[in-house]
Amino acid sequence: MSEESNVSFFTKHKTAIITTVCCLSAVASAAYVVYTKEAEIPSSSAAPVNSVAADKKKKKKEAQKLKKQQEKEEFIATHSVEKFGLKFLPNSTAIDVSGLTEAQKTKKAAIIKKEANEIFKQQNFEEAVVYYTWALQLSSDPIFYSNRSVCYLKLNQPEKCIKDCTAALELDPKYTKCLLRRAQTYETISKYEEAILDLTGLSLMKYNAVSVEQLLQKCQELSLEQQFEQAMLTQKHELANFSDISSFYQSITSLPKNAKNINDEKLTKLVELIYGETVDSIKQADQYVNELVADEGAAISSNSNEAKAFIYAAAASLTFFKSLPTKSLELVEKSLTFGENSFNLLIYALIMCETSGMPKDSSELFNKAIEADLEDASALYHKAQFLALVDESQIKAISNLFIQVLEIDESFIFAEIQLCLLDYKQNPEKKDYQTRFTNLIRKYPDVAQVRMCYAEVLSTQEDQLIEAASQLDKILDNKNITALEKVNAMILRIHFYLSGPDQNMSTLTFANTLIKDAFEIDPTNYKVLNCIGQLTLQDPNRVEEGMNFLQLALENTQAPMEKRQLIQLIQSTKIQHQLLQHPIYAPLFIEMIQQAGM
């Protein structure tokens, strides 16, 4: 099983209803043996060896030179330019054009082109290339480049075809046939970004719109898949997006509760770090738990099996956040060997949700986790979330599960939030959800997630944007809310600033200040990096810098869906910048934007 990025379910507990060394040492040892043996060879034997190698190299070079000369002589002997009143340059396959006027060159080029066309019709493409090349030596006509590019295409030489199309377009930027051919050739060799730019140019010039649009869509999809696969292969295996990680653990009550009951020193320290609600504390938790489980758990060999089960499960959950599902699965399975409990069964269920693709098996694991501790609401809550993600139509069943969560633990705030969201989803016009959210805010004034989710719901209604912004401002102004909890509110608030009708330099300045604060709190948060990238791109002199931030965001994005969205954003941003830099496409692109009222 490949180590893929699949942490989407881990980070969707808040708003699921809405948005649902051995080899290296061996090589080193082998090299040491070789180097040692070479050192033992007497120096007198080195000279003959070097001499033999030099002789071989010299003979090879002479053979290549002779072969090249023979090919040149054969070409000259088998190709006649005399019939066009021309001759080859001495010892060369190039024709001699000296002494010819421009008119004479043009006339001879036209004659050669006509004969080349006849040769092409006979499908003698190699010979046609020779004739078009002669014509080009007489006249740099874009048609000659275009015709020769077709020959190269027929000869399965795509790079040469592209080169000739490019040469033709440099002479005639509106040569649409060449532009389409280059785009199609780019597509055949999987250079989709280049094809997309050419096809977008053709679309702007309204060239054969239907077929161009179809090919454009195909290349966009292929490019997305190509870059997505590459992004998954190069996925960083480090903790990132700490605000989401912290929020996830807030929805897990079984870990801190059992750690308190077990009263194991190492487990207690680990839990304190995990729930420290800062980037540093979560990083320290990851480092600490890795030390505990290293060397087959040597550091916890004397601890109770009960403590080991929780420690290994905690290691599994943190490892999963590093996009290492296989390793996390090994760790949670190790945890289960020390005894089953509500926490390790829940982590097992969550990991299986993302890796097995078998909802039935995952559902059974959730049930086992629930049965392991009927007084803990975590597993029941996540089962409800799981059901919301795999079968959103069962709203009544989902709602009942969240109600059961609150019957077990009336302070389980996330379940109350989800019930508010379900009210909105079922009856957005009735406005009952507003009353429910308002009551919840009074009950939990210092819980950022309540106001955050309320603001997200309000933001879907144009007449409620001011109130949505107000809810976010109250989060940012609340000193009882931790900095890490404020990050997502900062991001959404920036979105409101930039999308508002009264956008000006002061709002842009404030947005920049706010995003810098968010970056200082959670510098690997992909949503923060994405926002910085888009803000930076507002300055036409900082396009490269903005694109770098978007790329960083992509590297730190772990959930596949978000990765795809970021790749699409990067693609479209890059294409837009290229269009605006193009002498032909720029005015057409600007006109299209203006007509669309963008």
- Residue 367 maps to which CATH number? 1.25.40.10
Give the residue-averaged pLDDT of 325-352: 95
Number of neighbours of residue 110 by Cβ within 10 angstroms: 14
Predicted local distance difference test score (pLDDT) of residue 42: 37
Copy the structure tokens of residue 151: 């020959």
CA 17 → CA 12, 447, 454, 591, distances in Å? 9, 19, 13, 40
Predicted local distance difference test score (pLDDT) of residue 358: 66
Neighbouring residues of 417: CB distance < 8 A, sequence distance ≥ 6:
14, 440, 449, 450, 453
For residue 37, pLDDT over 60 is answered with no
Q: Give tens-digit pLDDT for 266-318.
A: 999 999 999 999 999 999 999 999 999 999 999 999 999 999 999 999 999 99
Strand-pairing partners, residue 95, are 88
Residues 256 and 324 in one domain: yes
Residue whose structure tokens are 């903790």: 239
Report d(CA 313, CA 327) in Å as an integer: 12
Widest distance between CA atoms in the chain: 101
Give the residue-averaged pLDDT of 385-407: 89
Q: What is the 3-state secondary structure (H, E, C) of 456-497?
A: HHHCCCHHHHHHHHHHHHHHHHCCCCCHHHHHHHHHHHHHHH
Domain count within the chain: 3
Report d(CA 575, CA 569) in Å as an integer: 10
Predicted local distance difference test score (pLDDT) of residue 16: 35
In a domain, 64, yes or no: yes
Burial class, 278, CB count within 10 angstroms (exposed 0-12 / middle 13-18 / buried 19+):
middle
For residue 7, pLDDT over 70 is answered with no
In a domain, 185, yes or no: yes
Predicted local distance difference test score (pLDDT) of residue 76: 67
Domain extent, residue 109, equals 102-233
Q: How far is CA 576 from the centre of its chain?
A: 18
For residue 321, pLDDT over 70 is answered with yes
In a domain, 92, yes or no: no
In a domain, 213, yes or no: yes
Predicted local distance difference test score (pLDDT) of residue 482: 95
Reported as half-sphere exposure (CB side, CA atoms, 13 A), residue 383 has a value of 27
Q: Give tens-digit pLDDT for 162-190.
A: 999 999 999 999 999 999 999 999 999 99
Reported as half-sphere exposure (CB side, CA atoms, 13 A), residue 238 has a value of 11
E strand or H helix that includes residue 359: helix 359-372
Q: Give tens-digit pLDDT for 450-491.
A: 999 999 999 988 888 889 999 999 999 999 999 999 999 999
Please give the DSSP secondary-structure letter assigned to residue 252: -
For residue 11, pLDDT over 60 is answered with no
Report d(CA 445, CA 7) in Å as an integer: 30
In a domain, 127, yes or no: yes
The DSSP-derived string for 311-334 is HHHHHHHHHHTTT-HHHHHHHHHH
Give the residue-averaged pLDDT of 324-340: 95
Residues 275 and 349 in one domain: yes
Predicted local distance difference test score (pLDDT) of residue 356: 73
Q: Which of 233, 260, 282 is the last residue of a domain?
A: 233
Residues 170 and 263 in one domain: no
- Of residues 598 and 141, the one with the higher pLDDT is 141
In a domain, 190, yes or no: yes
Q: Give tens-digit pLDDT for 528-545.
A: 999 999 989 988 889 999
Predicted local distance difference test score (pLDDT) of residue 73: 64
Report d(CA 331, CA 254) in Å as an integer: 18
Report d(CA 16, CA 449) in Å as an integer: 13
Predicted local distance difference test score (pLDDT) of residue 344: 96
Would you place residue 80 in the very low, low, confident or very high pLDDT band (cuts 50, 70, 90)? Answer: confident
pTM above 0.85, yes or no: no
What 3-state class would DSSP assign to 234?
Answer: coil
Residues 253 and 190 in one domain: no
Predicted local distance difference test score (pLDDT) of residue 283: 97
Would you place residue 411 in the very low, low, confident or very high pLDDT band (cuts 50, 70, 90)? Answer: very high
Ordered alpha helix ranges (H), 155-274: 158-171, 176-188, 192-204, 209-233, 242-250, 254-262, 265-274
In a domain, 312, yes or no: yes
Report d(CA 295, CA 314) in Å as an integer: 17
Residues 250 and 388 in one domain: yes
In a domain, 88, yes or no: no
Report yes or no: 486 and 465 within 8 Å, Cβ to Cβ.
Answer: no
Predicted local distance difference test score (pLDDT) of residue 243: 94
Give the residue-averaged pLDDT of 146-150: 97
Residues 66 and 10 in one domain: no
Residues 263 and 385 in one domain: yes
Would you place residue 248 in the very low, low, confident or very high pLDDT band (cuts 50, 70, 90)? Answer: very high
Neighbouring residues of 531: CB distance < 8 A, sequence distance ≥ 6:
491, 494, 495, 515, 518
Copy the structure tokens of residue 515: 């995003």
Copy the structure tokens of residue 41: 């060879």
What 3-state class would DSSP assign to 17?
Answer: coil
Burial 303-312 (b: 16+ CB within 10 A, else e): beebbbbbbb
Copy the structure tokens of residue 139: 């006249």
Predicted local distance difference test score (pLDDT) of residue 442: 95
Give the residue-averaged pLDDT of 147-161: 97
Report yes or no: 484 and 246 within 8 Å, Cβ to Cβ.
Answer: yes
Q: Give tens-digit pLDDT for 110-125.
A: 999 999 999 999 999 9
Neighbouring residues of 136: CB distance < 8 A, sequence distance ≥ 6:
109, 144, 145, 148
What are the strands, taking DSSP E only, across 535-580? none
Residues 223 and 316 in one domain: no
For residue 1, pLDDT over 90 is answered with no
Q: Give tens-digit pLDDT for 486-524.
A: 999 999 999 888 776 666 667 778 888 999 999 999 999
For residue 65, pLDDT over 50 is answered with yes
For residue 92, pLDDT over 60 is answered with yes
Would you place residue 131 in the very low, low, confident or very high pLDDT band (cuts 50, 70, 90)? Answer: very high
Give the residue-averaged pLDDT of 558-565: 90
Burial 475-496 (b: 16+ CB within 10 A, else e): beebeebbbbbbbbbbbbbbbb
Residues 225 and 250 in one domain: no
Residues 218 and 276 in one domain: no
Residues 390 and 294 in one domain: yes
Residues 262 and 377 in one domain: yes
pLDDT mean across residues, the chain: 86
Strand-pairing partners, residue 293, are none
For residue 78, pLDDT over 80 is answered with no
Report d(CA 313, CA 306) in Å as an integer: 11
The DSSP-derived string for 77-144 is HH---GGGT--BPTTSSSB--TT--HHHHHHHHHHHHHHHHHHHHTT-HHHHHHHHHHHHHH---HHH
